[in-house]
Amino acid sequence: MNRLLNSLFLFLFIFTSLLSSGQTPDSTKNTSTFSGSVGLTNNGFSIIPSFSLNSPAMVSTLSFRKKRFSFDPDIRVALDAKNGGFLWWFRYKLIDKKKFGFRVGTHPAFTLIKRQDTENGKTTEITEMLRFIAFEVVPSYQFNDHFGASAVYLQGNALQKSGPQQTKVLFLNTAITNVGLSQNVYLNVFPSVFFLNTDGYKGSYLTVTVAVGHKKSSFSLQSTINQTFTSNLPGNKGFMWNITLNYNFKRIIKRN
């Protein structure tokens, strides 16, 4: 697992470094874009923020987009590589207007979990990989340059009999972006409430992500909090938080 994590770090570093020194935007020759962020956090959150790795983690959200189609890898792995998740999103924008958008997506997911295994009377901790297939439906509306709203319905189904079998979640999101704190310092705030149902266990939550950055720097600092309203999920935590240092990038890939 450590070899896997080292390989991921190396791949992401080389790939983003190469693209960082790539071409500048040219609207007459644009064919696709590559964007995303790579970061380190003290507590890796799942895409459903009520679940976390409870340990420092590497997080990476990438997007390869051409016209309305995008491939969006989402990788969140503990630094010891013993738990985490790998999501390979395939998304398509059915409606892509200036203000209104409607997106659908699907992904296979691979989740690493720690569990106790007993053999010949000896109990050891092992890492098990669980497999899921999921889909999403996402309408969105952009009111102006600084404020937007969206809803996300996400459903995941297990491909094995162990672990959670079906998870449904509805997010109601808002996005307050590019708020100028000074001439070059900006603030982004992403409040959201969501409703979770995992194999009949239910919960409702508030999550807020705040990010601060400098317009002339590729790095930003963000923090996420997750507060439980109600929940009967086993092991649910009432309040969680993290802080993450991100390297952000966006590159235009042009025709030859």
| Integer Cα distance of 117 and 110 in angstroms | 20
Tens digits of per-residue pLDDT, 161-209?
A: 988 999 999 999 999 999 999 989 999 999 999 999 999 999 999 999 9
The CATH number of the domain holding residue 54 is 2.40.230.20
Nearest to 180 by CA among 214, 147, 223, 149: 214
> Radius of gyration over alpha carbons of the chain, in Å?
19
Residue 15 has a pLDDT of 46
| Integer Cα distance of 46 and 167 in angstroms | 13
Number of domains in the chain: 1
pLDDT of residue 151 exceeding 70, the answer is yes
Tokens of 123: 């109990």
Average pLDDT over residues 79-105: 94
pLDDT of residue 97 exceeding 70, the answer is yes
Domain coverage including residue 32: 2-254
Tens digits of per-residue pLDDT, 222-243?
A: 999 999 999 999 999 999 999 9
Tens digits of per-residue pLDDT, 17-74?
A: 444 444 444 444 558 999 999 999 999 999 999 999 999 999 999 999 999 999 999 9
Q: 3-state secondary structure string, 201-254?
A: EEEEEEEEEEEEEECCCCEEEEEEEEEEEEECCCCCCCEEEEEEEEEEEEEEEE
Cβ(146)–Cβ(121) below 8 Å: no
Amino acid residing at 174: T
Query: Where residue 122 falls among pLDDT bands split at 50, 70, 90?
Result: confident
Residue 144 has a pLDDT of 95
Cβ(108)–Cβ(121) below 8 Å: no
| Integer Cα distance of 126 and 112 in angstroms | 10
| Integer Cα distance of 113 and 177 in angstroms | 34
| Integer Cα distance of 23 and 250 in angstroms | 11
